[in-house]
Chain A
Amino acid sequence: MQHLANLTERRDRTSGHAIEVAHVSHVYAGADGGVPALHDISLSVEAGRFVVIVGPSGCGKTSLLMMMAGLRGQSQGTILCHGKPILEPDPKRVGVIFQEASLFPWLTTFDNIEFPLSLRGVPRSERRRRSQAMLSLVGLEGFGERYPHELSGGMKQRVSIARGLVQDPPVLLMDEPFAALDEQTRMTMGHELLRIWSTASKTVVFVTHSLTEAVYLADEVLVMSARPGRIVDRIEVTLPRPRTYEMMATDVFGRLRERIWQQIRETV
């Protein structure tokens, strides 16, 4: 039976909806009745897809992501992850990667990656084995004993991605993870992320305000309006995979980028 259950779970991971958001609204409490932040958002993310959410700043895209992560509650509506509601953070179902790499400066790279495992009392040897594997996945072998302040911005985000992946959650939520990086590093990191994604077969929901990044990374771009945030468009990115830097110069890329820009401009 256990075997069967595992099989079903495996199928759940690779087919159907990884994330389902149904009629989610959110109002920030305030003196004059509150500020509406999100308005009736419904969306679903198929398992294994790379979905990017874009929108003007302050549209609530980060709030929406935090709700998917169980880090913040919504006023109305439900959010399901593989059919089960998200009520609190669960690193086994959902890994979160933040804009600031938010690594703990008092821990080495190894200990940072192993942090979620050590919270659960995973034995040390097992932890080290898994963090080693993650470290080579993100291309940082040999940096396990370094402290965060000895790493560059791009390397910190790699470690942060490794930490998000170490419990092998089917879903990865990324909140503008490369926004603080310089342009070149940002491009490299985007490319790296696609490589990791293609080997790890995860569902990714990625929030950004960079349209180029959105088109380059996504299977599907969701455009949000200014506050109160609504989903105003859903754009399939038909560019083939693996993506290459050269694709950015193509007409298809330009048209997709233009369409998203039009949507955002109209809603502001």
Chain B
Amino acid sequence: MRWPSPAAVRWMMLAALLVLWEVLPKTGALPELLLPPLSKTLAVLFTDRYVYFAALLVTLYEVALSMLIACGLGILTGALVGGFAVLRNLLLPVFSSLYAVPIVILYPIFTAWFGIGSSSKIIFAGIYGFFPVMLSTAAGIRTIDPQFLLAARSMGATLTQQITRVIIPASVPTVFAGLRLGGALAIIGVVVSEMLTASAGIGYLVTLNRTILDSPRVFAGILAIFVLAIAYHMLARAIESRVLVWQAAGRRRKSSSPDTSATVPAPVAA
């Protein structure tokens, strides 16, 4: 028997989980309070679709703005810290240690400062996502092969051209890795802060319904966040492979990969 491909197995596992989600509570193996059946969850999601849609819009708005803060500030600070040794020595240790701090501890302060509306979530999640973006941008710039810059100089590149034509494209892959992580952290930041103190958003709905033991509505919120996070991940991947065509090119053309001596005409016989 041939083994199915990993992708097929993954889809089968997902299908199995969904079936179990439906069957386990239905057969009474698990109480519906702990796990409401999939059909019930979807039904609630449908009847309350306006509520959930409005909440999703709030969450998406907060996620979008906090990603903007995380990416914008992160790339800017990372470029400065990566590019200038003085700033690097001064700030990099500080940022690295701050990254290890559970910043969520600051969230109560943010609600006091910025209110329980969207601003506190945006600022908190923005800071949360800022660190990986900033650190990987700095690393991307710092680890550029000095040979690239030497070659560019030998070809007469000015400082500006060295930055735009060499440093930026060379650091793009590392920066992207940071952006992907930073974006994911921004989503986490928004949802967590909505669950803690909020008046709107999917996270808020989940907490609200949990306190009144409305399991289907809790799971509906969870499902919405799952879909959001996975959609984000797939989008980030798609953008990344678009931008980094030069990294994927080899894999695409592997079958026709060249080999020196075979494909290059032999030297003129002497």
Is B7's beta carbon under 8 Å from chain A?
Answer: no
Within 8 A of B (CB), among A126-176: 139-140, 143, 146-147, 149-155, 158, 163
Within 8 A of A (CB), among B168-184: 169-170, 172
Q: Are B156 and A150 in contact (CB under 8 A)?
A: no
| Among A89, A140, A153, A244, residue most surrounded by chain B Cβ atoms (within 10 Å) | A89
Q: Are B150 and A91 in contact (CB under 8 A)?
A: no
| 20 additional contacts (CB under 8 A) given A95-B154, A102-B151, A108-B246 | A89-B155, A89-B156, A91-B156, A100-B147, A102-B145, A102-B147, A104-B166, A106-B169, A106-B170, A115-B152, A116-B156, A119-B157, A146-B258, A150-B253, A154-B261, A155-B258, A158-B264, A184-B261, A244-B270, A246-B270
Q: Are A102 and B150 in contact (CB under 8 A)?
A: yes
Note all chain B residues with C-beta closer than 8 A to A146.
249, 258
Is B47's beta carbon under 8 Å from chain A?
Answer: no
CB distance from A69 to the nearest CB of B (A): 6
- A110–B184 Cα distance when bound, in Å, is 37
CB distance from A251 to the nearest CB of B (A): 19
Is B153's beta carbon under 8 Å from chain A?
Answer: yes
Q: Given contacts A91-B155, A106-B172, A106-B246, is CB(A150)–CB(B257) below 8 Å?
A: yes
Is A192's beta carbon under 8 Å from chain B?
Answer: yes
Q: Given contacts A119-B165, A155-B258, is CB(A147)–CB(B154) below 8 Å?
A: no
Is A96's beta carbon under 8 Å from chain B?
Answer: yes
Offer 25 A-B interface pairs, CB within 8 angstroms, sorted by A.
Answer: A89-B153, A91-B154, A91-B155, A91-B156, A98-B150, A100-B147, A102-B145, A102-B151, A105-B246, A107-B246, A115-B155, A119-B158, A119-B161, A119-B165, A120-B156, A139-B264, A146-B249, A147-B249, A150-B258, A152-B260, A154-B261, A155-B264, A184-B261, A191-B267, A245-B270
Note all chain A residues with C-beta closer than 8 A to B246.
105-108, 147, 149
| Among B152, B154, B165, B250, residue most surrounded by chain A Cβ atoms (within 10 Å) | B154
CB distance from B151 to the nearest CB of A (A): 4
Interface string of A54-87 (1 = CB under 8 A from B): 0000000000000001010000000000000000
Note all chain A residues with C-beta closer than 8 A to B265.
139
Note all chain A residues with C-beta closer than 8 A to B266.
188
Q: Are A104 and B169 in contact (CB under 8 A)?
A: yes
Note all chain B residues with C-beta closer than 8 A to A91.
154-156
Which residues in A have some Cβ–Cβ distance to B below 8 Å?
A: 69, 71, 89-92, 95-96, 98, 100, 102, 104-108, 115-116, 119-120, 139-140, 143, 146-147, 149-155, 158, 163, 184-185, 188, 191-192, 195, 242-246
Q: Are A71 and B153 in contact (CB under 8 A)?
A: yes
Is B46's beta carbon under 8 Å from chain A?
Answer: no
A99 nearest in chain B by CB position: B147
Interface string of B28-46 (1 = CB under 8 A from A): 0000000000000000000
Is B114's beta carbon under 8 Å from chain A?
Answer: no
Q: Given contacts A119-B161, A152-B258, A154-B260, is CB(A104)–CB(B156) below 8 Å?
A: no
CB distance from B148 to the nearest CB of A (A): 6
CB distance from B143 to the nearest CB of A (A): 14
